[in-house]
């Protein structure tokens, strides 16, 4: 009898623990995420979107040249926003966070960006003013 009560207690405890974990980790299958990514042209757009889409779990990625906003639809059960950001930084683009903070791509990754897409160079940025190249 004691064994039966003990087994039932463990069984109930297991269900209680499992139910709490499900509530804490409710991740969306089609989460909509927006972030700001540095870039200046159509080549940047292609590079940023491709890097995002190559991340497992990202279903949709569109980067706007003028607003620098990257809109994503992703499965949070398969990936995290940090992984997407890391892949974008690996192709040479900075992520602009709230209050002017940045996650900066390494200098090595930035050097792989095409010379006309060097968004950190003010002269090149001014050359792109008003144009979608």
- Is the pLDDT at 132 greater than 60? The verdict is no
Identify the architecture of domain 31-127 in CATH.
2-Layer Sandwich (3.30)
Q: What does the pLDDT look like over 67-78, one tens digit per residue? A: 999 999 999 989
Domain residues of the chain, as ranges?
A: 31-127
- Is the pLDDT at 17 greater than 60? The verdict is no
pLDDT of residue 125: 83
pLDDT of residue 25: 58
pLDDT band per the 50, 70, 90 thresholds, residue 86: very high
pLDDT of residue 22: 46
- Is the pLDDT at 130 greater than 80? The verdict is no
Average pLDDT, the chain: 84
Q: Residue 87 corresponds to which tokens in the numbers above? A: 């892949």
The three-point CA angle 6-11-14 to 5° equals 125
State the sign of the Cα–Cα–Cα–Cα dihedral 91, 92, 93, 97.
positive
Q: What does the pLDDT look like over 21-77, one tens digit per residue? A: 445 557 788 889 999 999 999 999 999 999 999 999 999 999 999 999 999 999 998
């Amino acid at each position: 009898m004691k064994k039966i009560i003990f087994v039932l207690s463990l069984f109930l405890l297991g269900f209680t623990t499992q139910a709490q974990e499900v509530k804490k980790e409710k991740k969306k299958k089609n989460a909509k995420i927006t972030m700001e990514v540095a870039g200046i042209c159509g080549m940047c757009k292609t590079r940023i979107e491709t890097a995002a889409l190559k991340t497992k779990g990202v279903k949709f990625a569109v980067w706007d040249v003028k607003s620098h906003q990257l809109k994503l639809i992703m499965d949070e059960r398969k990936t995290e926003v940090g992984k997407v950001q890391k892949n974008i930084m690996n192709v040479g683009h900075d992520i602009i966070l709230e209050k002017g903070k940045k996650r900066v791509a390494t200098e090595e990754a930035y050097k792989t960006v095409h010379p006309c897409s060097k968004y950190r160079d003010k002269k090149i940025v001014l050359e792109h003013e008003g144009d979608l190249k």
